[in-house]
């Protein structure tokens, strides 16, 4: 639960609710991007960026290399599969 | 951040040569401090994620250099007291209630079993990944009362807060939170005040600090004169952080430093802090497993959002007539382990009746709990060695 997983933002789906579609390793889900948005910047600026996802909310922008090493670390412990399976709403 | 990243960035944090260099540095610093196996320098890693990295990569063997890790209270599921689980089950058992929870909380034992047991007995308990999924359940089932079992440290609080605000904007009336959010700094203060406490320095949590920044730890340096270094999750991150703590000790400094600057900002995440502040306020007191009631260590929902507070809505817990602290099991040593006063294998239940498949104490439930981490990596060695004597 405390783990975050890096995901890449693909599109903005509902700007009023601050929702975006994110993807990692072929798994997609809608996430909330309030915490990584900047007041002076359009939400579209987030498209293509990597963020750390925690319980459905992007909590930090990270660069692509940080995303890659974090994914490797999670993969080693088997935590990637766990997170991905949990991410898809039942 | 627009700073150019070197090509070998990933390798920098994996590279065995880099790890070896850090290990050599640690050995030198430990020798300067006169640390030995019998008189070690004790460093508490606060976060359960770090506990895992330590065992997974065998960093607990640093004890040979005189560096001992003490595993802190950094797993929010593990420190939930039995009484809170009982209260959660009480809410889940009310007619019409759907209780939504993170999977980790399902097996935490209360006095009358876990949420898993409650579900088997007919309560409508559902596992969700996000509080947003709980809110979606409320939208989908307007005739039911959806309660989200909100728990976690500062990392998770903004998610819960933003979900509540979203529910309010949509005018959703059948959604509430059973709030068990807790803060990292307060229990550290209690541990530091304990005369039994022998911690020389701290490795601080990466993700919590990403939200709260560095300022909330200042009292550790100023008042208690202990160094704290916020660390990332790679093994080299941890080694580097340990070396930074030791360097401070050698130089006689006590400061709050940030090894994980590629993710953690000094001021934290302002949007996240604003969301927390809008929805939550500190409770005068909150109970922790093994540590008891700790002043100002938990968060509750502000009065203006009382309609979304399950404790108010259902009159349980701190919002109702709260039962006295439930007694913990006689042989369970979770309290001592959480305090860092005892190692998991020294608990009489460790590996015998208390195992990940059949957890007795909460530290065995979540994979981030120190007993579970110990069992998975190091402790099994100990347990089997002892069993064969
Ligand atoms: S072994 Fe079980 S009962 Fe003993 S301290 Fe660990 S979790 Fe608690």
According to DSSP, the residues that pair with B355 across neighbouring strands are B358
Q: Give the list of residues 6+ apart from residue B122 with CB closer than 8 angstroms, or none.
A: none
Dihedral sign from CA coordinates of B301, B304, B307, B308:
negative
B168 and B28 part of one domain: no
B62 and B93 part of one domain: no
B59 and B87 part of one domain: no
Question: Is residue B324 domain-resident?
Answer: no
B95 and B152 part of one domain: yes
A69 close contact with B: CB closer than 8 A: yes
Cα–Cα dist B319/B325, whole Å: 15
- The interface pTM score, or ipTM, of the predicted complex is 0.90
pLDDT for B53-96, tens place per residue?
A: 888 888 888 988 899 998 887 788 888 888 899 999 999 999 99
Q: Give the list of residues 6+ apart from residue B356 with CB closer than 8 angstroms, or none.
A: B364, B365, B367, B372, B375, B376
CB contact under 8 A, A69 and B10: yes
B171 and B281 part of one domain: yes
Each domain of chain A, given as residue ranges in start order, spans: 5-87
B95 and B165 part of one domain: yes
Task: Write out residues in chain B with pLDDT < 50, as ranges.
Answer: 1-10, 383-389
Contact (Cβ atoms closer than 8 angstroms) between residue B383 and residue B350: yes
Cα–Cα dist B376/B366, whole Å: 12
Which whole-number Å values give the CA distances from B180 to B38, B122, B160, B177, in the listed order? 39, 24, 11, 9
SS (H, E, C) chain B: CCCCCCCCHHHHCCCHHHHHHHHHHHHHHHHHCCCCCCCCEEEEEEEHHHHHHHHHCCHHHHHHHCEEEEEEEECCCCCCCHHHHHHHHHHHCCCCEEEEECHHHCCCCECCECHHHHHHCCCEEEECCCHHHHHHHHHHCCCCEEEEEEEECCCCHHHHHHHHHHHHHHCCCCEEEEEEEECCHHHHHHHHHCCCCCCCEEEECHHHHHHHCCHHHHHHHHCCCCCEEECCCCHHHHHHHHHHHHHHHHCCCCCEEECCCCCCCCCCCHHHHHHHHHHEEECCEEEECCCEEEECCEEEECHHHHHHEHHHHHCCHHHCCCCCCCCCCCCCCHHHHHHCCCCHHHCCCECCCEECCECCCHHHCCCCCHHHHHHHHHHHHHHHHHHCC
What is the model's pLDDT at position B387? 46
pLDDT for B190-227, tens place per residue?
A: 889 887 778 899 999 999 999 999 999 999 999 999 99
- Smallest Cβ–Cβ distance between A89 and the set B129, B211, B263 belongs to B129
Helix (H, G, I), strand (E, B) or coil at A14: strand
Using left for φ > 0, alpha for ψ between -120 and 50, and beta otherwise, residue B292 falls in left
Q: Provide, as residue numbers in chain A, all residues whose Cβ is less than 8 Å from the Cβ of B159.
A: 32, 54-57, 59
What is the model's pLDDT at position B57? 83
How buried is residue B362: exposed, middle or buried, by Cβ count under 10 Å (0-12/13-18/19+)?
Answer: buried
Pairing mode, strands B97-101 and B41-47: unpaired
Provide the domain limits for residue B376. Answer: 334-388
CATH assignment at residue B16: 3.40.50.11750
- Closest CA relative to residue B352, chosen from B373, B369, B331: B331
Q: Give the list of residues 6+ apart from residue B171 with CB closer than 8 angstroms, or none.
A: none
- Average pLDDT, 10 consecutive residues per value, chain A (90 residues): 83 96 93 94 95 94 88 77 73
What is the model's pLDDT at position A74? 80
What ligand 1 atom has the least distance to the C-alpha of B337? Answer: 5
Distance from CA of B105 to the nearest CA of A (A): 9
Question: Is residue B195 domain-resident?
Answer: no
Question: Is residue B254 domain-resident?
Answer: yes
Question: Is residue B3 domain-resident?
Answer: no
Helix (H, G, I), strand (E, B) or coil at A45: helix
Say how many domains are in chain B.
3
Gap from CA of B79 to ligand 1 centroid (Å) = 12
Of the residues A1, A28, A50, the best mutation for testing chain B's interface (the one with the most B CB atoms within 10 Å of its CB) is: A1
Q: Give the list of residues 6+ apart from residue A6 with CB closer than 8 angstroms, or none.
A: A24, A50, A51, A52, A53, A62, A66, A67, A68, A70, A71
Helices (H), chain A: 64-76, 79-87
Question: Is residue B300 domain-resident?
Answer: yes
What is the model's pLDDT at position B10? 46
Mean per-residue pLDDT over chain A, rounded: 88
CB contact under 8 A, A32 and B271: no
Strands (E), chain A: 5-14, 19-24, 27-32, 50-54, 57-62
Question: Is residue B4 domain-resident?
Answer: no
Q: What is the CATH number of domain A5-87?
A: 2.30.30.140
B218 and B284 part of one domain: no
Question: Is residue B295 domain-resident?
Answer: yes
B166 and B297 part of one domain: yes
pTM of the predicted protein model: 0.89
A45 close contact with B: CB closer than 8 A: no
- Smallest Cβ–Cβ distance between B210 and the set A57, A59, A89 belongs to A59
Question: Is residue B88 domain-resident?
Answer: yes
CATH assignment at residue B291: 3.40.50.11740
What is the model's pLDDT at position B48? 84
């Amino acid at each position: 639960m405390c783990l975050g997983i890096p995901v890449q933002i693909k599109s903005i789906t509902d700007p009023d609710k601050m929702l975006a579609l994110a993807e990692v390793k072929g798994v997609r889900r809608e996430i909330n991007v309030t915490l990584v948005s900047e007041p002076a910047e359009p939400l579209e600026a987030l498209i293509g960026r990597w963020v750390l996802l925690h319980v459905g909310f992007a909590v930090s922008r990270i660069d692509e290399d940080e995303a890659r090493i974090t994914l490797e670390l999670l993969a080693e412990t088997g935590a990637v599969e766990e997170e991905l399976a949990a991410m898809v709403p039942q | 951040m627009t700073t150019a990243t070197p090509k070998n960035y990933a390798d920098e944090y994996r590279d065995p040569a880099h790890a070896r260099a850090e290990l050599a540095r640690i050995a030198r610093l430990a020798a300067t401090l006169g640390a030995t196996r019998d008189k070690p320098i004790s460093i508490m890693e606060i976060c359960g994620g770090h506990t895992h990295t330590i065992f997974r990569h065998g960093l607990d063997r640093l004890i040979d250099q005189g560096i001992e890790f003490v595993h802190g209270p950094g797993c929010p599921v593990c420190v939930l007291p039995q009484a809170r689980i009982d209260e959660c089950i009480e809410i889940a058992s009310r007619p019409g209630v759907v209780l939504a929870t993170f999977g980790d909380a399902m097996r935490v034992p209360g006095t009358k079993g876990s949420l898993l047991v409650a579900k088997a007995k007919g309560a409508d308990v559902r596992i969700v990944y996000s509080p947003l999924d709980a809110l979606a359940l409320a939208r989908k089932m307007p005739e039911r009362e959806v309660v989200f079992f909100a728990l976690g440290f500062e990392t998770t609080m903004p998610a819960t807060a933003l979900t509540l605000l979203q529910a309010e904007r949509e005018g959703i009336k059948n959604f509430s939170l059973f709030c068990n959010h807790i803060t990292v700094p307060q229990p550290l203060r209690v541990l530091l005040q304990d005369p039994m406490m022998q911690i020389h320095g701290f490795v601080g949590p990466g993700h919590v600090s990403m939200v709260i920044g560095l300022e909330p730890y200042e009292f550790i340096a100023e008042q208690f004169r202990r160094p704290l270094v916020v660390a990332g999750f790679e093994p080299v991150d941890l080694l580097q952080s340990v070396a930074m703590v030791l360097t401070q000790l050698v130089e006689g400094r006590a400061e709050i430093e940030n090894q994980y600057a590629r993710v953690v900002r000094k001021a934290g995440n302002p949007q996240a802090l604003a969301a927390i502040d809008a929805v939550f306020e500190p409770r005068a007191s909150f109970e922790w497993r093994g540590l008891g009631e700790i002043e100002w260590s938990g968060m509750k929902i502000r009065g203006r959002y009382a309609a979304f507070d399950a404790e108010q809505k259902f009159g349980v817990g701190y919002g109702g007539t709260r039962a006295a602290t439930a007694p913990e099991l006689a042989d369970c040593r979770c309290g001592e382990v959480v305090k860092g006063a005892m190692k998991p294998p020294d608990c009489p239940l460790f590996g015998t009746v208390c195992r990940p498949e059949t957890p007795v104490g909460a530290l065995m439930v979540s994979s981030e709990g120190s007993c579970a981490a110990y069992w998975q990596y190091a402790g099994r060695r100990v347990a089997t060695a002892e069993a064969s004597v």
